[in-house]
Structure 1
Amino acid sequence: MENIGQRLTNFLAQSVPLASNLGLELTHFDGENLHLTAPLAPNINDKMTAFGGSLYCVAVMSCWGMVYLQTELAELNCNLVVSHAEIDYLRPVGSESFTAICHADKQHFEQFITDFKSKGKAKITLTSTITVDGKVAVSFTGQYAILPPISA
């Protein structure tokens, strides 16, 4: 799984400059769970906690990254987009770093991949959370779509 995780790291570094500005790092991927971590320092607000926009970006990218990695594992050539997203900020995040965790249900993803192969497009809804002291601080839900690749 390390090699596949490196694909996401490389893609973000080359194609999403914001990921570098956030200090985003893939800290865990096992096929079912993806952890993206960012340090507080470049994401701090005037209250000395994580900026809401940074929390949103890390949460949305954890789910986006999960879809990216699942499509890489399935060897799909597709275009991945976020089609809808919602976030709840439940408590401040003030630790030195914070991690958004996205969990993938294997059967859910198998159907997602099957749908793309048969229909040429597919949608999936994923969630991610950021916790503080064992309590959910941020709850994110996003819908992601995969479509045929963009022609050059």
Structure 2
Amino acid sequence: MRQIGVPHPRLPLPVAGGEDDMADFLAWLGEAIPMVPALGIRQMTRDGDCLAWSLSLTPSLNDKGTGFGGSLAAQTTLLGWCWTTLWLRRHGLARDVVVAEASQRFLAPVTGDYRLTCEPEAVDGPSALAERLELRGKGRIALVQRLWCGETLCLEARGDYAVLPAA
């Protein structure tokens, strides 16, 4: 049982230069952040610089029978945190990540199960983050999340994620 003010143990880093097992990471995330199992995440995949979740709408229904904006906003924020954390892990870094700024644009109602994607806002975002971490020991990256219900773009979000200095 998680306790207020007590950090959850970090997941061990993957073998040098290795990739995280997405199912293991998602299981750890569900232990570290108690609301995660209730989000309806069915699968997490990575393709290049794009991290994606497949989600069930049922846990995020609002009173109108469509996606609840607050739940969807929380999911976009968390997916960006996951993107940054997994990027750090692939680079052998166990660092704290926090969201510094986030915004959402709701474009269409979410009426069924959906896919949420996250990728850097700028093509050079990851290399710029790596450079800042090397030079200053901390950095930020801007990420864009998009929620797709079938072929319909329902939500576009943007977040700045800060990588804190090593303890």
Which TM-score tier does this pair reach, normalised by the shorter chain?
0.7 to 0.9
Structure 2 distance, partners of 1:26, 1:118, is: 36
Structure 2 distance, partners of 1:122, 1:3, is: 22
Number of paired residues? 149
Structure 1 distance, partners of 2:87, 2:94, is: 12
Residue in structure 1 matching 2:117, options 101, 123, 139: 101
The code of the aligned residue for 2:104 comes to I
TM-score (norm 2): 0.80
Structure 2 distance, partners of 1:10, 1:41, is: 20
Query: 1:95-125: per-residue Cα shift (whole Å, max 9, x none)?
Result: 1x22210123663202202211220110111
Deviation at 1:4, TM superposition (A): 4.1
TM-score (norm 1): 0.87
1:46 matched to 2:63? The reply is yes
1:120 matched to 2:137? The reply is yes
RMSD: 1.9
Instruction: Indicate the structure whose relative CO is greater, using CA pairs within 8 Å and at least 6 residues apart.
Output: 1
Task: Work out the percentage of aligned pairs sharing the same amino acid.
Answer: 26
Structure 2 distance, partners of 1:10, 1:146, is: 23
8 Å contact from structure 1 (residues 126, 142) kept in 2: yes
Please give the secondary structure, in 2, of the residue aligned with 1:67.
helix
Structure 2 alignment gaps of length 5 or more: 1-17
Deviation at 1:15, TM superposition (A): 0.6
The code of the aligned residue for 2:148 comes to T
Query: 1:110-143: per-residue Cα shift (whole Å, max 9, x none)?
Result: 2202211220110111111112342321010000
Structure 2 distance, partners of 1:68, 1:25, is: 20
Residue in structure 2 matching 1:110, options 127, 146, 157: 127
Structure 1 alignment gaps of length 5 or more: none
Deviation at 1:65, TM superposition (A): 1.1
- Structure 1 counterpart of 2:97: 80
Query: 1:6-34: per-residue Cα shift (whole Å, max 9, x none)?
Result: 45313311211111111224432123111
Structure 2 distance, partners of 1:75, 1:2, is: 10
Q: Report the CA distance shift for 1:76/1:2 in structure 2 as closer, same or farther (over 3 A).
A: closer
